[in-house]
C-alpha cells in the first residue's frame, strides 16, 4: 500500500505544472519501483498521474482527456 501511495504522489508531481523537479537519480530503488508499478496492468488500466475534475481518460502518452 505504501508503494502505491508513493508512486501516486511522485507521478502526480511529475505530471502537474508545479515547477518541482524530482531528481530521482540518487534513488535507484525508487526509480525501479516506479518502473515496476507503471508496467502493471492495473496501473495501465487506471492511470493515476492526473487528478482533476473533468478528466475522463488519457492519451497513450499520459496526457489527460477532458469531458
What pLDDT score was predicted for residue 51?
66
What's the total number of domains in the chain?
1
How big is the chain, counted in residues?
A: 67
Contacts of 55 (CB under 8 A, 6+ apart): 64, 65, 66
What pLDDT score was predicted for residue 35?
94
Half-sphere exposure of 27 (CA within 13 A, CB side): 9
Residue 57's domain spans which residues? Answer: 2-66
Of residues 41 and 64, more confidence is placed in 41
What pLDDT score was predicted for residue 64?
79
Question: What DSSP line would sit under 5-56, residue for residue?
Answer: HHHHHHHHHHHS-S------TT-HHHHHHHHHHHHSHHHHHS--S---TTEE
pLDDT in tens, 1-60: 788 889 888 988 887 777 888 899 999 999 999 999 989 998 888 766 666 778 877 788
Amino acid at each position: 500500500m505504501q508503494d502505491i501511495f508513493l508512486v501516486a504522489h511522485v507521478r502526480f508531481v511529475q505530471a502537474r505544472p508545479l515547477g518541482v523537479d524530482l531528481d530521482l537519480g540518487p534513488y535507484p530503488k525508487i526509480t525501479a519501483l516506479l518502473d515496476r508499478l507503471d508496467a502493471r496492468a492495473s496501473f495501465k488500466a487506471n492511470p493515476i498521474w492526473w487528478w482533476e475534475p473533468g478528466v475522463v481518460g488519457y492519451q497513450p502518452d499520459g496526457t489527460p482527456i477532458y469531458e
